[in-house]
Structure 1
Amino acid sequence: MSVERNTTPAGKGGFGWALALVPLLLLGLVLAYLVTTGGGLRELAGPPLEKVTIERITLPEPGVIKVEVVNDGPQAVTIPQVLVDEAYWEFSAEPSTTIPRLGRATFTIPYPWVAEEAHAVTLITRLGTTFEGEIPAAVQTPRLDAGLFWRFGLVGLYVGVVPVVLGMLWYPWMRRLGRRAMSFVLSLTVGLLVYLAVGTWLDAQEFAAELPAFWQGVPAVILVALIALGVLLVVGNRRPGASGERSPLSLAYQIALGIGLHNLGEGLAIGAAFSAGEAALGTFLVLGFTLHNITEGVGIVAPIVRQNPGLKHFALLALLAGGPAILGTWIGGFAFNPVLAALFLAIGVGAILQVVWEVGRLVAKDSARLELPTLNWVNLGGFVAGVAVMYLTAFMVKF
């Protein structure tokens, strides 16, 4: 006689889920007590802590200043007064002068700003706390129209696509190189990518530092970069080639993607410079990034020198690597957002590190075929040359 036994684990029934909610319910009671009583320490409470971050100051038209702020403090903040160039000025606030925690407001100030001159804006809270913002050079904020849209797009094309294509023109010459020379070029690619990863990381940290405190910018960049790296490694491991190794063309596309995310940050910097009225800086960045990016094309085509994928793939690789610079220029010029900038660049760090891993594996495999250790003078020389080239050309974009 067979006896059926209940094989359902004890914790999987409805009662088990109810037990899982007990700690959460108790936590809610504790939090309610702390909110209502202040933990029994209300008599020690000091004055309210006010904290406001000025996210962006724009000049939408002559005689108008707009200030976008976010309240990243622990409580609501009221801003009843505004100073412009040390003088009190009338203003309107949308939706209100009282900004709730994590809330946003836009202050519109009818002020006769002077083109190309510096202006200072100070917000004064109800308790007298001041928060200052600066307009380095007053220039009307660009409005989205067809003409300016295409001009910004051309700037991104010059910075991203054109130098990548020029670098890819070394492909016929690279096909004539021997195995040792190709190991040097692949190691040079690793050096280029490592430098780009470091540069992208620093750019992401710069944008993260401008975020309101509640975004926790620096930890967020680290976590997003690690998550992006992990996701790409997992996806890569699930899609191997027939021999268990990634195809050279697939690796070239990965390199192009990582470089593209880096170039997105360059476009953001250029667009933001022109939007802020710093045209001289914007032009300086265009020239510098164009020179800086020509070596990226070498890194993209290095894995595919032993095969000819066809012009279609070359065009797609150039667009994938350089096209994001166009997108970045549009975003930076018309709708700059430091949150999205930090997010995209953090993803770029993860993508570039994953490509460094893949190209490093390719270098190790080629070294084994030559019966050489992975770390040899040829590979080390290529790596140092890649870092040095990027470092020296970066002199044109550092200020």
Structure 2
Amino acid sequence: MHPRLWFSLLLPPLMLGLALLWFQMTQPLEWLGVSPPPLEELTVERTIIDDDGLALKVRAGGSEPMRIAQVQVDGAYWRFHQEPAGELSRGQAAWLQIPYPWVEDELHEVTLVTGTGVTFGHTIEVAEPTPQPSIEQLSGYGVLGLFVGVLPVALGMCLLPALQHAGARGFQFTLALTLGLLAFLLVDTLEAGLELAAEAASLFQGPALVWLTALVAFLALLGVGRRHGLPPEGRILAWYIALGIGLHNLGEGLAIGGAFAAGAGALGTFLVIGFTLHNLTEGVAIAAPLTRLSIPAWMWVGLVALAGLPAVLGTWLGAYAFAPHWSALFLGLGAGAILQVCVEVADYLRRTAVAEAMSPVSGISVLGVTAGVGIMYATALLVQV
């Protein structure tokens, strides 16, 4: 590359950096008599409850370094130990160890007081011992992930032989049903991602993180899928659907594992059954592009694993290393992948309808999309975390 071209590329960011450095060093706002007060912000990212008391992972997000001076639990000041000690700069995280005699199944209110007197509250809705990593615990969360991820996808895929005997109208209905299922999953994934983004420290810009991650994932997958100029269909489309559902199930597993670890999954068996029923149609969505094809057994297993096993990984990460910004990031990826699949399924539905001399927007298509959304909505009523 010509040196002049390099110079033209590097000059704008270099000058911008110098301008920002000058602004920081000279503080021109002081010339106007303006002295903005330092902003303090503190976010509790994780709570661990054990025999030693309470442990909170906090992250500072203010404009200036801040110091945690006091801790209140249920209205009483309590001693605590901070690791690492000292002031917290913007973006820095620390653990607060509070030897408080918590009561199981009770609500506890924690208030963090900074050196300037600003308070930040954190509520422990239901005090439950945080699970400690062990073979038994890993196995239990693994079985939970299998139930909510792998089992329903496998059962849905078992409907493939029945779908393969459907005629042209049945095939169109199945594709439309898949589109409705995925459309609901897209909205559900975005909603869950934005909800978790609101719990993350503001410096991560959670909502923007979800939307931008979804956009990047959508464009990247769309570019890869159409790199040869042809839209994916058949087996390739099934793999893309499985990938999108797998990313969704990863985020779902993170939320489930975090909820159970925090004691919010007290509904236990009812919760697992609800998610299993809710995810049953995911296998149907994967099978839809395969209804006119025969697939080997290894591909059937691979599709089920790609769509379902991320739920197992999600429950493990959610139970032992939950962080709202990471969960929001993964759900953003899932939303982008599902959006790409929605576009491809809609295009595939249009092309197959034209090939069969049918209208892409026929009564059977509208019925299929409506049924897909309705089924997902009805089964979602069973899911309470």
TM-score (norm 2): 0.95
What does residue 304 of structure 2 align with? 318
Give SS of 1:161's match: helix
Q: Does 1:56 find its partner at 2:46?
A: yes
User: How do 1:31-46 residues align onto structure 2 when only pairs under 5 Å count?
Assistant: 31-41=20-30, 43-46=33-36
CA distance in 2, matches of 1:368, 1:18: 54
**2:156 aligned with 1:167, yes or no?**
yes
In 1, the alpha carbon distance for the partners of 2:8 and 2:223 equals 35
Distance 2:12 2:293 in 1: 61
- Assess if the C-alpha contact under 8 Å between 2:38 and 2:62 holds in 1: no
- Residue pairs, 1:143-292, within 5 angstroms: 143-239=132-228, 244=230, 246-292=232-278
Change (3 A) 1:372 1:144: same
Q: How many residues align?
A: 384
Letter aligned with residue 119 of structure 1: H
CA deviation after TM superposition for structure 1 residue 77, in Å: 0.3
RMSD: 1.8
Instruction: Tell me the secondary structure at the aligned position of residue 226 of structure 2.
Output: helix
Once the two structures are superposed, residues 32-90 of structure 1 have per-residue CA deviations (whole angstroms, 9 ceiling, x without a partner) of: 3322332142643143221111112211x214211111111101001111111111111
Structure 2: how far apart are the matches of 1:245 and 1:228?
A: 17
> Aligned-pair distance for 1:385?
0.7
Counterparts of 1:246 and 1:187, CA distance in 2: 17
Alignment of 1:121-160 (within 5 A): 121-160=110-149
CA distance in 2, matches of 1:75, 1:358: 48
Contact kept? 2:197, 2:207, Cα under 8 Å? yes
Q: 1:299 aligns with which of 282, 285, 301?
A: 285
Aligned to 1:108: 97
Q: Find the aligned partners of 1:386 and 1:290 in 2 and give their Cα distance.
A: 16
CA drift of 1:28 comes to: 3.9
Encode CA deviations 1:104-131: one digit per residue, 9 max, x unaligned: 1111111111111111111101110001
d(CA) in 2 for partners of 1:17 and 1:172? 60
Alpha-carbon distance in 2 for matches of 1:368, 1:222: 34
Work out the CA distance in 2 between the residues paired with 1:32 and 1:250.
Answer: 51
SS in structure 1 at match of 2:43: strand
Amino acid corresponding to residue 372 of structure 1 in structure 2: M
Residue 47 (structure 1) aligned with residue 76 (structure 2):
no
Shift of residue 14, structure 1, vs aligned partner: 3.0
Partner deviation per Cα, 1:245-273 (whole Å, 9 max, x = no partner): 53411111111111111111221122111
Taking the aligned partners of 1:256 and 1:367, their CA distance within structure 2 comes to 23
Structure 2 residue 365 is matched with structure 1 residue 379: yes
1:92 corresponds to 2:81? yes
How far apart, CA to CA, are the structure 2 residues paired with 1:371 and 1:147?
57
Shift of 1:395: 0.7
Larger radius of gyration: 1
Amino acid corresponding to residue 52 of structure 1 in structure 2: L
Matched AA of 2:223 = V
Q: Which runs of 4+ in 1 moved over 6 A?
A: none
| Structure 2, unaligned runs of 5 or more | none
Out of 331, 342, 354, the position equivalent to 1:368 is 354
Q: Measure how far apart 1:194 and its partner are.
A: 0.6
Q: Which amino acid aligns with 1:314?
A: W
Q: Which moved more, 1:365-374 or 1:300-309?
A: 365-374
The equivalences for 1:65-80 within 5 A come to: 65-80=54-69
Bigger drift between 160-169 and 34-43 goes to 34-43
- Given that 1:273 and 1:281 are in contact with CA atoms closer than 8 Å, whether structure 2 keeps it comes out as no
* Percent of aligned pairs with the same amino acid: 44
Question: Structure 2 vs 1, CA of residues 383 and 210 (structure 1 numbering), >3 Å: closer, same or farther?
Answer: same
Cα distance per residue 1:160-193 (max 9 Å; x no partner): 1111111122112112111111111111011001
